[in-house]
Amino acid sequence: MKLWVSAVVVAIVLTVCAASTRAQAPAPAPAPAAAAATPAPNGLQRIAYIDVQRVLARSAAGVAAREQLERDKAAMQKEMDGKRTELEKLRDEMEKKGALLTPDARRDKQEQFERKRRDAARLADDFQKELEKKESGLLQKVLQDVSGVIERVAKEKNYYLVVEKRGAGVLYGSTDADLTDEIIRQFDREAPKQAQPAPKKP
């Protein structure tokens, strides 16, 4: 979804910039034990990448956000189905009884049909905008929460740069540099209650 992708890129850029700025600032030298705790060949511990779309797809919070959107979408679709049924009934009535109506009555029916059709089109447009707004809000909440997890894990493992796999255009990345699954596990551990999907109504 376009909104998801654009919000992901914005959030990751902010996270990367913040991490990069902190990395450039002078800091006390790490203790020998801490430095030895994260050895990795070829300096892979310094740069990592994350597939944020995978985080959103597999983390409990991401799943809960998508399920909420699906429930909202289903409710809107149900209302739109009712409008469509109403229009179909009115059209059928015009086709079956049109010949029996006076010209004025037939014109009134046609105007009524057109008015209801326009109202349904406006409602569909309003629903689409509302759904996009809800999607953006839910996504932003998940991204704000996960950005803190990314920052903490990156600091713990002494990474000085974390990029988003898709937005950064990563052409090759060793699996040793992929933090995605670890971020998902940590994200789910830190927010188990908020991430639980809402119970479905019978």
Three-point CA angle 155, 59, 195, nearest 5°: 100
Q: Tell me, what DSSP letter sits at residue 158?
A: T
Question: Do the strands 161-164 and 47-50 form a parallel or antiparallel pair, or are they unpaired?
Answer: parallel
Task: Tell me if 58 is assigned to some domain.
Answer: yes
* 137 inside domain: yes
Cα gap 53→175, rounded to integer Å: 17
Confidence of residue 193 (pLDDT cuts 50, 70, 90): low
- Judge whether 11 lies within some domain: yes
CA distance 109 to 112: 5
Give me the half-sphere count of Cα atoms (radius 13 Å) on the Cβ side of residue 22: 14
In a domain, 26, yes or no: no
Angle at 31 between CA 25 and CA 35, to 5 degrees: 85
Residue 35, domain member (yes or no):
no
Q: Are 67 and 199 in contact (CB under 8 A)?
A: no
Query: Phi, psi (5° rounding) for residue 101?
Result: -85, 155
Q: What is the pLDDT of residue 105?
A: 84
State the Cα–Cα distance between residues 176 and 174, nearest whole angstrom.
5
pLDDT the model gives residue 167 = 73
202 assigned to some structural domain: no
pLDDT of residue 78: 95
pLDDT for res 43: 46
- Domain containing residue 92: 2-21+42-195
Q: Using the 8-state DSSP alphabet, how is residue 37 labeled?
A: T
In a domain, 117, yes or no: yes
Tell me: pLDDT of 81 over 90. Answer: yes
Q: Which distant-in-sequence residues (6+ apart) come within 8 Å of 27 by Cβ?
A: none
Highest mean pLDDT among 4-8, 36-40, 71-75: 71-75
Number of domains present in the structure of the chain: 1
The pLDDT score that the predictor gives to residue 22 is 41
pLDDT of residue 80 exceeding 80: yes
Query: Within a domain: residue 85?
Result: yes
For residues 56-76, average pLDDT: 91
Among 18-27, 109-118, 172-181, the minimum mean pLDDT is found in: 18-27
Alpha helices in 25-161 (DSSP H): 32-36, 52-58, 60-97, 103-156
